[in-house]
């Protein structure tokens, strides 16, 4: 079978204006809860797309660790490639794909660091191995496996069981300006409903052609 022959016709759900929440965060919450109930694997995994100061794009999977009306939060090493991208060019997009429900959510907006308190609270909720790893890994820089494991072992001994959060590690929050809810439909006639803020800060909804 060639790649061109791989096809899937979507038919499980529909997304109509009459069923859409007035607020995009309520709509996201409803879909996220449905994805949880459907036991979607890695339900909080999302593609984060960023670009550096020269506009060169890059994308990777990160994990959503919280969301509310202020935005969508994830954590990383600030010295990583994505960390540098987001500090040089604080605009980004997120993409959730839940194939079991034939749904996508696309989110675009500006990015800023979370508060130190938020970063501390999440860091201390992580398993010990992950906390040590935040110290041991010079993320996005060349390293051998042997050196990484040696760093981890050495720091595991020196930092003990209650390591503090390193200054180079913490959270980012994407404050959305545009959210698209995509529902797969038969014959590629998908439903695409978009929320965008107007000049008064109100959310307006429009339908896009598939």
- Cross-strand partners of 51: 57
Which neighbouring-strand residues pair with 75?
171
| Interaxial angle between packed helices 145-159 and 128-136, expressed in degrees from 0 to 180 and rounded to the nearest 10 | 120
Please identify every residue annotated as catalytic. 188
* Separation CA 76–CA 107 (nearest Å): 19
Residue 144, annotated as binding a ligand: no
At 98, give phi and psi (nearest 5°).
-115, 85
Q: Is 75 annotated as a binding residue?
A: yes
The answer to whether the annotation marks 197 as part of a ligand binding site is: no
Q: Are the beta carbons of 143 and 209 closer than 8 angstroms? A: no
122 is in an annotated binding site: yes
20 is in an annotated binding site: no
Is 124 labelled as part of a ligand binding site? no
Ligand-binding site membership of 54 (annotated): no
- Our CA dihedral for 53, 57, 61, 62, rounded to 10 degrees, sits at 20
What residue numbers does the annotated binding site for substrate cover?
7-10, 65, 122, 126, 130, 188-190
What residue numbers does the annotated binding site for FMN cover?
60-65, 75-76, 81-82, 104, 139-140, 182, 192
What residue numbers does the annotated binding site cover?
7-10, 60-65, 75-76, 81-82, 104, 122, 126, 130, 139-140, 182, 188-190, 192
């Amino acid at each position: 079978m060639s790649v061109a022959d791989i096809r899937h016709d979507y038919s499980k759900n529909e997304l109509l204006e009459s069923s859409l929440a007035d607020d995009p965060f309520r709509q996201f919450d409803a879909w996220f809860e449905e994805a949880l109930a459907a036991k979607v694997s890695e339900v909080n995994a999302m593609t984060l797309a960023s670009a550096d100061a020269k506009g060169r794009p890059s994308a990777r999977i990160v994990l959503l660790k919280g969301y509310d009306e202020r935005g969508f939060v994830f954590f990383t090493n600030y010295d990583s490639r994505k960390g540098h991208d987001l500090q040089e060019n604080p605009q980004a997009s997120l993409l959730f794909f839940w194939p079991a429900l034939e749904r996508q959510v696309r989110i675009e907006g500006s990015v800023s660091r979370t508060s130190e308190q938020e970063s501390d609270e999440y860091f201390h909720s992580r398993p010990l191995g992950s906390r040590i790893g935040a110290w041991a890994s010079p993320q996005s820089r060349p390293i051998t496996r042997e050196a990484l494991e040696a760093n981890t072992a050495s720091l595991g001994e020196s930092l003990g069981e209650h390591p503090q959060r390193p200054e180079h590690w913490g959270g980012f929050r994407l404050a959305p300006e545009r959210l698209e809810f995509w529902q797969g439909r038969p014959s590629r006639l998908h439903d695409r409903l978009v929320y965008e803020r107007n000049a008064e800060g109100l959310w307006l909804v429009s339908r896009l052609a598939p």
